[in-house]
Structure 1
Amino acid sequence: MASGKKLLLFYEPTSGSNYRHMPEVFKSLKSLRGTGKTILLITHDVKLIHTCCTSLLCIGDDGVAR
């Protein structure tokens, strides 16, 4: 996936997906761990965040939280 790129941006990657396809999205994102790539994931999907992310930055009306 995106060979040679150091930064990958995923904007709402599960938007429009049904529950049957979500494990494939989770698996694809998890497979990118340890590849040396920076992954910027923008999502409202809390399950995806807990499954795939190793660090988190929340941006909301009240500001930024880590």
Structure 2
Amino acid sequence: SSGSGRRGEQGMGREPAQPAAEPPLPSALSQPQIYALNRVMTELEQQQFDSFCKQMQGSGE
């Protein structure tokens, strides 16, 4: 029974090795497209953050 217990531990140890949080990028996207998309998303985040800061400052006064 101890042998099967060891096998169970190995199985559990193997699971986290697979990065479930990071799905593979679609092969349809080329490298430049990925960089462009990343840049656009970063700029969008920055704009949202700036507007959020302005809102917080306005409500604080």
**One fold, TM greater than 0.5?**
no
- Structure ranking higher on relative contact order (CA contacts 8 Å, 6+ apart): 1
Instruction: Calculate the TM-score normalised by the size of structure 2.
Output: 0.29
Structure with higher Rg: it is 2
Instruction: Calculate the TM-score normalised by the size of structure 1.
Output: 0.28
- Which structure features the higher share of strand residues? 1
- Which structure features the higher share of helix residues? 2
